[in-house]
Amino acid sequence: MTKIFAIKIYQIDLPLKEGRYSWADGKYVEVFDSTIVEIETESGVTGVGEVCPLGPFYLPAYGPGVRTGIAELAPHLLGEDASRILRINEVMDRALLGHPYVKSPIDMACWDILGKITGQSICNLLGGKDGESVDLYRAITQLPPEEMADNVRKHRADGYTKFQLKVGGDAQDDIARAFATRSALDHDEVLVADANTGWTITDARRVANALSELDIYIEQPCASYEHCVSIRNGTRLPFILDENIDCLEMLLRAHGDKAMDAINLKISKVGGLTKARQIRDLCVSLGIPMTVEDSWGGDVTTSAIAHLAHSTAKAMRFSSTDFNSYVTVSVAKNPPHRVNGTMSASDEPGLGIELDRKRLGEPVATFQQQ
Catalytic residues: 166, 266
Helix (H) or strand (E) holding 8: strand 4-15
DSSP letter (8 states) at residue 25: G
Are 290 and 311 within 8 A, CB to CB?
no
Residue 138 backbone dihedrals phi, psi, to 5 degrees: -120, 130
Q: Give the integer Cα–Cα distance in Å for 41 and 294.
A: 27
What is 91-149 written as a DSSP string? Answer: HHHHHS-S-HHHHHHHHHHHHHHHHHHHT-BHHHHTT---SS-EEBEEEE----HHHHH
Are 303 and 352 within 8 A, CB to CB?
yes
Beta-strand pair 239-241/4-15: unpaired
Q: Give the integer Cα–Cα distance in Å for 126 and 123.
A: 5
Are 199 and 220 within 8 A, CB to CB?
no
Q: Give the integer Cα–Cα distance in Å for 356 and 349.
A: 17
Measured between alpha carbons, how far is residue 31 from residues 296, 301, 330 in Å?
11, 16, 14
